[in-house]
Structure 1
Amino acid sequence: MNARVHLPGSKGRAAVATGTVGYIATRPGADMSATPSDLRRAELAERMALAGYYAERPGSTSLFDQDGQVPLHEARTRLAAAEGAVATWVVSVRREEADELALGCKEEWQRWCRRELTPALAAAMGVPESSVRWVAAEHENAENSKHVHVISWSSDGSFSSVMPKQRLERARAMLTDAALAPAMEAALRERDIARSLAVEAVRRVPAEEVRVTLPPTGRISYAHLRCWHPETAGGVREELSRAAERCPAIRDAGERYRAAVEHCADLKGLGGGERDRYVGDAMRDLTARRANALLRTIAPDRTEAPEAAPMHAPAPQNGPATRRQRERCVRCEVAACVPHREMAEAAAAVRERRPVPAGALRACPTYLAAVRRAPADAARAALAVIEDAATSGGRRDLGDEAGKEALRILTRAALAALRAAMSTGERTVRLTNGIERGMRI
């Protein structure tokens, strides 16, 4: 994605309406074909007898916007009347990846632009989505890429300055994630299938062919052996290598998984050491899963003998386990009480890296009780958690469920509100006791 801002009063700002829009609309390579969407919109306009729609028929212009095709003279009129700055954009993908990303033709570019451009442009320009206006044209003239030219402005003239780098990077991330979503979802699905096949192939190894001596006591898991019996864990890895040499199915499944992981790394744009770490972590995870499958083949019934007289220490009042139990309870409460529509809106906010709506917690009893107990502190604590989660960054696989992340954010916000309310209550009790002691004195 490349972007350039033309400020009010500059030569470039005046040239956009007179020359740039005509250039992107009529340059050789601009796709003027009428898409099925254009024809449907034209048929609807004809049935509704919309005046002026047929200034240029579908297929005679390459420009389009959020609502349909745009005649060149109309685009020039809009830009001449617009106030504030104008931004020009070029969004491109490699030609060999266009079909995989569902951006191989004008119809798919139109659908993607109408779905994804407005939120990203609003984030970059620093204006509400309702005031974003844009026109675009898809070009086929580049040898190595497919791209779309976009001209954007604000309807109220509030966009009138250059765009900070952080806002541009946020818009780039939004458009990149949106473009990669179909391919990443398919790649993650292929990765999970390949991993399951690789582990299942190891489960079919006969136990008598495995030459590993296990410790007489202790857990039978690869993580435990690697920590306490590293020589045994090394023997398990050697047995996995020998099994791959003997069985082509095990070797082929491992190679398929590695290829799927490398494809995910390519889609995520990783390179150099970061790519090596990503692939290495995935292969180590597969080794651990395969090792556990092999260990279950060797010792399927190994269990720990119960203690003769188990000793149970008293449960801590505020330890990690207690906090995790409280968090599980609140998570179940949020999942049960937050309506489906609010949870869907929260998931959409997570996907788009926007703050999760604080109103989603209004049906959660724990949060309501905290707000009644300490309205200001509880609301402030919950809002801080929600805003921090939206701006903390961290790229996630697009195949992951955003609903789970939204549920975690809402749970943390409810717990923060509860802690703030309890802290306020304790301060109030201490202050009251101090006043009572002073009166007695």
Structure 2
Amino acid sequence: MSRNPNKQTFPAPHAPSYYAATANPAPERPPLAGAVETQVCVVGAGFSGLSTALSLAERGYDVAVVEASHVGWGASGRNGGQLVNGYSRDLDVVESRYGAEAAQALGAMAFEGADIIRERVARYAIDCDLRDGGVFAALNTRQLDELKSRAASWQAHGHHALQLLDEHSIRAHSNTDLYVGGLLDSRGGHVHPLNLTLGEAAAIESLGGVIYERSPVTRVVSGSRPTVYTDGGQVRADKVVVCGNAYLGKAVPALRDRVMPVATQVMATEPLDEATVNRLMPSGACIEDCNYMLDYYRMSADRRLLFGGGTVYGGTTPADIEAKLRPHLARTFPELAQARIDYAWSGNFALTLTRIPHMGELEDNVYFSHGYSGHGVTTTHLAGRLIAEAIDGEHERFDAFAMLKNHPFPGGRLLRVPLSVLGSWYYQTKEKIGL
């Protein structure tokens, strides 16, 4: 892998992140120019769009991907890099809202996204620092009881690569005084997300797909052969798949009020010595805690601690990311309280009101998927496979998501942020007083 982790200059296409500084070489892809015909046009070259395009290309479809900036520019190339199985709401919540049949269908697919990533990394020899193991960490007994219920629920749906951890055994994964226990998911893990997107893009092109960068979509016109328009050209296709997620903008008005952009921040420390890494995070698994406003962290391949959190509703970037995250880092690992921070960046994910991914058809021949609500690395890969199945005539699994009711945020774009902040304040207050 070509890397110079101490260099602090970045290519314009990406946020000033550790990932951009350590990205694998990638070609500069041309913008869309003129009229193009294809079987399927995918809007967005993040994980959702790339997974959809690759799933379709593997099935023999001609695919064109239209990206506003560059492959992996949005959340897919900026996130914490954690392969977190399941959804942002547990399966018992899915069952209470939508019924046992829906819970059974979603439960059967809850771990598939991470498996798809592993399959593709192996098949296409993608160099992205993939490592197994993810831990949900409990800060109190209530959270630990919830993890026990989650494990039982997942096991009831056939997912058994799980191990409950007590306050002693969790130290093999995160050697801190914070946690009373946790849940190890051996089918979880972590990855260099930008390099994963670049590898998947290359795989699409190896199968004959085409990717247009620097081509923001201005509108999508439905019909028997829908058309995707940019300032420089248009793509006419048999099917269109919209995968803009938090960065879709105004291109598809029908989707704007169905998700809310939420900013999360990540920072990367200076490289740590091997003894420190082995002492603080012996197993190499990634960690996320169970708070409503959670912290998440992992070690990079070059021994930097990548530490994230700092959720901001509405998608605004804090004035000082390091100042926002450093107290959380110091609380977790006091010996790193003064560690040098070499990179700090922000990015947006898309939240739905239900916290369940939103998939469906806008009109005949126009599909969409968005709103993974913090579980995007894995669920995007599942979504891409499900959309490809539906386009190929296999609707059952896609329909399991598409049939779930989704609601716009109350108060529309004006009030969705303050109302969400009020809700988050309520849950954080409960956590602080131990409820």
Shorter-chain TM-score: what band?
Answer: under 0.3
TM-score normalized by structure 2? 0.21
Which has the larger share of helix? 1
Asked which structure has the greater CA Rg, the reply is 1
TM-score normalized by structure 1? 0.21
Q: Which fold has the larger relative contact order, with Cα–Cα distance below 8 Å and residues 6 or more apart in sequence?
A: 2
Which has the larger share of strand? 2
